[in-house]
Structures are given as structure tokens and as C-alpha cells.
Amino acid sequence: MRIQTLTIVGVGLIGGSIGLAAKQRGLAERVLGVGRRQASLQQALARGAIDEGFLDCDEAVHRADVAVFCTPVDMIAEQILGAAPGCKAGTLLTDAGSTKAALVRSLANRLPAGVSFVGSHPLAGSEKRGPEHADANLFDGKVTVITPTADTHRPALDRISAFWKALGSDVLIMDPEEHDRALAITSHVPHLVAAALVSLLTPDLLPLTASGFRDTTRVAAGDPALWTGIFLQNRDAVAAGLNRLTNTLNQFRQALTHSDPVALDQLLAEAKRQRDDLEKNSSRRA
Amino acid sequence: MRIQTLTIVGVGLIGGSIGLAAKQRGLAERVLGVGRRQASLQQALARGAIDEGFLDCDEAVHRADVAVFCTPVDMIAEQILGAAPGCKAGTLLTDAGSTKAALVRSLANRLPAGVSFVGSHPLAGSEKRGPEHADANLFDGKVTVITPTADTHRPALDRISAFWKALGSDVLIMDPEEHDRALAITSHVPHLVAAALVSLLTPDLLPLTASGFRDTTRVAAGDPALWTGIFLQNRDAVAAGLNRLTNTLNQFRQALTHSDPVALDQLLAEAKRQRDDLEKNSSRRA
């Protein structure tokens, strides 16, 4: 795959990493970056993640053959709908947002002929932000979920698939709603729980935290505005996941308050089995 | 500090690390290890964590000047009460258990004259087990909590304090009940929550887990029997901590189901502020 002009909207950790990877792997002739502040564009230019910086989103997207929107999930639909009318025929649009169903719904039947959108979600985030943390190998061996719909043209799907594979990613095709339900469990509910856990800390407890607490709560350092958008876009699936978690916590609570060692041990042993499976699966992928 | 004979009961990750650290730092003339299986004693001997292995706990503790019990928290009191009557005058006993109040209560006024116990908890665990993961630097810069009571003799407290400092640890003196309430929040509730979260996984979700899910659930790989003991020994504080967590989760749930971006953002921003403080505190200590 070879792209003449790749436009990246939002040159933070994810956008910057796409730029670096695309350039290092010879995927794009020219990479344009869109930022809200000149300072982040300068940083992205200095890192070599982009060739040219733009404060005007539409202008940069109109020059693109492929454009990737790496902005907060609650801004993507508006940015795409704003830029699409001026796009060249054959322009392919995608994104890197953590939720997919609301976005895909917002764009259905609203793009001009000749402009395609296929949703993407690279599972390669971090609590870190900004182009200074961009990494050309961020997507290496990581999964990117692509969420076509019944209206998606096969060639567009194939090109987006090739795009993420060229960046080093493994590609998984999923229905947008199914993606959101899955990510509610594997990412959004864990984020809420990490935030709730760290909220229980009082200053006197700080010296009594060890690596377990730090690991369990690490993601809670993520950007609040970004995550507020994610939660609201995926509200129902997150609420359902939270209910499932509450039910499971109640099982633990009952075993605990009944001082039932057999029930506690069973619950913990089942959790350990699943966590050990996860570890095996991750090592196999790495 | 210099110990002639140091006995370590339980030569797993913690016990093995104490042996390695004590020998490498010239803290003990001779290190005796107690194990339930000849195989783990052989491993500890091969790692150089102990000089001599024993299957009989009492025999090894009777030779000790200082003995550290690194066995599951629900076994420690019985082992100490069993061994104490045959101990030499002046023998100092301590432990490495994750809960303190129940243990300290079980031993109050039940040790022979001349034998002292002071409870300890090095915050240096891991989900890994066994002497093969022992590490001479495990306690370096980590906090060890020591939990004396009104009956603890000052010289015994000072020696136990010197013992952990000699192993590289920072020492914090706390009341046993206060320790247990604190650790319920910083360790036991996070463990329960990690176990509950990983229990929500189904096999189809495995490829959709990324580093966030792995970090948030890492501790759930810990030994179920060990953790069942910890939860039951600290039942009331864990149940109280779980209630506080449930209340906080309900605040998130309400903000979510009301689609309230301001409330969500505030909750997440407060969590981020606390997580960032934690990170700063950890880096300062490291």
C-alpha cells in the first residue's frame, strides 16, 4: 500500500505515532497534520511525525487521499461532516476512536458520493498524551478493530485494513455495536473502576500503596475530557457492564460477609484461571 | 545489626528474598529455611537463599535468634504458638503477613516470657510465587509496616525495625487495626475488584484486551488460597472498603446514566489528580 497524501487530524500520542510509523515504513509520500495549537504541530514536526502542520482541519483533509481522525470521540463526527463535502473523489476517511457505534450512526448516508468512511480503533492507547510520546512501533503486534457496516464498500474496507496492517497492526473486523459492548468490558468499565478505586485514597494512605495499587489504577491518569466523551458515547454498554461488575462484586461480598472460605476460594480461583489465560494469550501475541 | 541464626518459615517469594537479602548484606551468620516440601527447600538452597532446610518448623525455630514467618496469614498464629514454648530466651519472632490485627490479637499474652513477637508487613509482594522468583533487592526502598502494641517491649521493636532496614526497607510504625483498615483500601479491595473485573471476560473478548485491562487485573493472578486467608482475616475492613467503593461507583453510574458530562468530568478529573499525586509520590520514593 502506498498513500500519496495522508492527513492526520489530531497529532497526539496516537496521531503522532501513525505519522511516525507511516513515514518510517514508507507508507505515505507526504503526511499532513492538523492540530488545535501551533505548539503541538511544532512538536509533531520536530519529532518527524508530520511534514506540514495545519490549524485548519478542512484545508488539510481536502488535500488527503487518506485521512485519519485521532481526535476525542465526541468531536470526530462533526469534523468529518464538516470536511467531507470538499474532499477529492476517492478520499478514504477513518478514525482511531475508542467507541464506534454512535460515530458510524452519525455518518450513515451523510457523506458525499466518492468519499468513504470506515471506522477503526487501534487498541494501543496509554494514559500518556501528546506527540512527545509518539512511537513508530506503537501499533506493532497490537490489534486494530475495523467496524464496517452493510453500506461499506469492499475496496474501502480492504484499503483501511491494509493501512493498519502496514502500520504493524493485526486487524480484526467487527460490527460497531459488538465492538462497543466488548470494549465496555475490556476497557471502559475497568477505567471507571480504576478511577473509583483511586478516589478512595486519602493522603495518609499514599505511603501504603505498592505496585498492586499502582497497576490497578494506572489508567485513571488518563485525560478526563477524553474519557467523559468515551463514556457518554458508549453509555448503555458501560452501564450494562457496570451492572455485571456490581453483581460479581456482590458475590465476593456475600462470600466475605458469610466468612465462606470455599466460596471465596472458588471465586478467586476462577479469576486466577482467567487472568492466567489472558497472560498466555498476550505472550503468544507479543 | 547482626543475627547469629535467622530462621525463615516459608521459603517462597518473600521468604526466599529475605534469605537472599540477609546473606548478601551480611545480616545473618546462618539462615535456616522451613518448607512444607523438600522440593522448595532444595530450590531455596540452590538459589543460596538458605543454608539449611527443615521440614519441621519447631526444630528450625528453636535454633533461631530471629525467626520470620512468611506463611499464609491464616497459618501464622498457630505456627508461632506451636513453636514458641521451645524457643531460646531472647528469641525475637516476626512475620511478613498482609493482615495484622487478628494475628496480634491471637498472640497477645500467649507467648512464654523471654520470647517476643512484633508484627511486620513488607509491602513488596507480587502475583508471583516460589523461591525461584526470590530477589535480594525485593525490599529496597519499599515500605515495611511494623505493628507494635501497648505490650511490645521497646528493644524488640527497635531490633525488628533494624532488621527490615538492614534488608533495605523503609520502616513505618502503625497500630495493627489502622494497618488493616489502610491495607483494605490500598491492597485488599483492589484485589477483589481486579478479580471481579477479570471474571467478566469471555473467550471472545481476549483479543480485545490491551495493556489497560492487563494492568488493572494483574494482581488477580495471585494465589487464591493465600488471598482467601487475607480477606477472611480482614473481613470487616474489606467489607467497609467495598461499601465505599460501591458508593463511589454509584456516583459514576449516576453521572453516566444521566448523561452528565460535567459530573463525569469532575469525578474523572479528581481521580486523575489523585493518581498523578500517587505517581509523583512513587517516583520520589524510587
Other Cβ atoms less than 10 A from the Cβ of B21: the count is 24
**B189-199 helix and A235-257 helix, angle to the nearest 10 degrees:** 120
Are A219 and B214 in contact (CB < 8 Å)? no
pLDDT for A93 equals: 98
- Compute the Cα dihedral for B213, B216, B221, B227 and give only its sign: negative
Residue of B nearest to A186 (CA): B209
> Which of B264, B265, B285 should we substitute to test contact with A (largest number of A Cβ atoms within 10 Å)?
B264
Find the helix or strand (DSSP H, E) in which A223 lies. none
Distance CA A169, CA A21 (A): 11
Using alpha carbons, select from A82, A142, A135 the residue that is nearest to residue A112: A82
Using the predicted structure, report yes or no on whether residue B175 has a pLDDT greater than 60: yes
Q: What is the bridge-based pairing of β-strands B66-69 and A116-117?
A: unpaired
Question: Strands A170-173 and A143-147: what pairing?
Answer: parallel
Interface of B with A in 25-44 (CB under 8 A): none
Residue in the block written with cell 471481579: B196
Q: Quick check: B158 and B9 in contact, CB under 8 A?
A: no
Query: What is the model's pLDDT at position B237?
Result: 97
- In this prediction, residue A284 carries a pLDDT of 63
Residue B85 has pLDDT above 70, yes or no: yes
* Residue B244: burial class (beta carbons within 10 Å; 0-12, 13-18, 19+): middle
Cα–Cα distance measured from residue A11 to residue A96, given in angstroms and rounded to the nearest whole number: 12
Radius of gyration in angstroms for the set of CA atoms belonging to chain A, rounded to a whole number: 21
Q: Report whether pLDDT(B192) > 90.
A: yes
CB burial of residue B260 (10 Å; 0-12, 13-18, 19+): middle
**Beta carbons of B174 and A111 less than 8 angstroms apart:** no
Return the residue of A nearest to B191 by Cα.
A212
CA dihedral B131, B135, B141, B146 (to 10 degrees): 20
Taking the CA of residue A169 and the nearest CA in chain B, the distance in Å comes to: 13
Amino acid at A28: A
Contact across the interface for A274 and B199, Cβ inside 8 Å: yes
A240 touches chain B (CB under 8 A): no
Decide if A186 and B201 are in contact by the 8 Å CB cutoff: yes
**pLDDT higher than 70, residue B125:** yes
Q: What is the pLDDT of residues B18-65, one digit of tens each?
A: 999 999 999 999 999 999 999 999 999 999 999 999 999 999 999 999
Q: What is the 3-state secondary structure (H, E, C) of chain B?
A: CCEEEEEEECCCHHHHHHHHHHHHCCCEEEEEEECCCHHHHHHHHHHCCCCEEECCHHHHHHCCCEEEECCCHHHHHHHHHHHHHHCCCCCEEEECCCCCHHHHHHHCCCCCCCCEECEEEECCCCCCCCHHHCCCCCCCCCEEEEECCCCCCHHHHHHHHHHHHHCCCEEEECCHHHHHHHHHHHHHHHHHHHHHHHHCCCHHHHHHCCHHHHHHHHHHHCCHHHHHHHHHHCHHHHHHHHHHHHHHHHHHHHHHHCCCHHHHHHHHHHHHHHHHHHHHHHHHHC
Interface of A with B in 62-121 (CB under 8 A): none
Which residues numbered 115-154 in B keep a CB inside 8 Å of some CB on A? Answer: 123-126, 142-143, 145
Q: In this predicted structure, what is the pLDDT of residue B282?
A: 78
Burial zone of B279 (CB within 10 Å; 0-12 exposed, 13-18 middle, 19+ buried): middle
Interatomic CA distance for residues A109 and A260, integer angstroms? 57
pLDDT level of residue B285 (50, 70, 90 thresholds):
low
Rounded Cα distance between A245 and A234, Å, is 16
| Contacts (Cβ under 8 Å, ≥6 apart) of B165 | B171
Please name the helix (run of DSSP H) or strand (run of DSSP E) that holds residue A150, with its range, or none: none
pLDDT tens digits, B62-83: 999 999 999 999 999 999 999 9
CB atoms within 10 A of CB A80: 26
Q: CB-based contact (8 Å) between A210 and chain B?
A: yes
Under a CB-based contact definition with an 8 Å cutoff, are residues B16 and B100 in contact? no
Task: Closest CB to A186: pick one of B205, B228, B269.
Answer: B205
* pLDDT by position in tens, chain A (length 286): 899 999 999 999 999 999 999 999 999 999 999 999 999 999 999 999 999 999 999 999 999 999 999 999 999 999 999 999 999 999 999 999 999 999 999 999 999 999 999 999 999 977 778 888 899 999 999 999 999 999 999 999 999 999 999 999 999 999 999 999 999 999 999 999 999 999 999 999 999 999 999 999 999 999 999 999 999 999 999 999 999 999 999 999 999 999 999 999 999 999 999 999 999 987 765 5
Query: Residue B114 contacts by C-beta under 8 Å, 6 or more apart in sequence?
Result: B87, B88, B89, B90, B91
Partner residue opposite B249 with nearest CB, options A126, A216, A242: A242
The CA distance from A4 to the nearest CA of chain B, in Å, is 31
